[in-house]
Amino acid sequence: MKLVKTLVVSSLLLISVTAFAASDPAPVVMLKNTTSQMLAALDKYIGKLKGNDKLVDGLVSKILVPHFDLTSMSRSVVGPYWNKASRATQKEFEKEFTRYVTRTYSAAMQSYDGETMRFDPIRGNIGNKVRVSSDLILKNGPPIQLQYSVEKHGNNWLIYDFSVDGISIVKNYNSQFTGVLRQVGLDGLVAQLKKRNGS
């Protein structure tokens, strides 16, 4: 859990982006727009964030969640157990996984402290999938390397994974859930997530 929160803080509670280059490709524009909206919301409620789970949960659900491909993330997190499960179980897992991730993000966002981000230009042609690299600029300490994996869906770009210093959050969740999946399968994992989420 500590590593997951570190990934979240580093990737989503971080961007102070006010300038948008005209040449920015669509995936970068999406990331800058989304994180700028999140930063504006955090600044608006600064002083009210700490311990206010309901407020921050609402901000995360409204601003960030729509830009994640949670179906793809859910499938990747549980691996082969996804195709073995019924459609109903898959939907239930995606719902509870989304709640679980949202709660993790919300807890991390309460520690926002004005970090900033520098994006690297995308080199080469952009297909339907692309990785956007950037650096998290800390007030104290060396920059942290971040990379977003995004995919085009119609006219929209959605995040299906991100990594911090080479550590993928999808792989991290997969490692976290592997033992439970082996013991009780996806239905059992859903039951545990419901308990954690207070569903």
Answer whether 117's CB lies under 8 Å from 135's CB. Answer: yes
Answer whether 97's CB lies under 8 Å from 193's CB. Answer: yes
Residue type, 179: G
Q: Looking at 3-7, 46-50, 107-111, which range is the least confident one?
A: 3-7
- pLDDT tens digits, one per residue of 134-166: 887 777 778 888 889 999 999 999 999 988 888
Is residue 177 classed as helix, strand or coil in its secondary structure? helix
- pLDDT tens digits, one per residue of 78-134: 999 999 999 999 999 999 999 988 887 777 777 666 667 778 888 877 889 999 988
Is residue 158 classed as helix, strand or coil in its secondary structure? strand
Question: Is 22's pLDDT higher than 70?
Answer: no
Residue with tokens 């909206």: 37
The closest of 134, 129, 139, 120 to 164, measured between CA atoms, is 134
Higher pLDDT, 59 or 188: 188
Question: Is 12's pLDDT higher than 70?
Answer: no
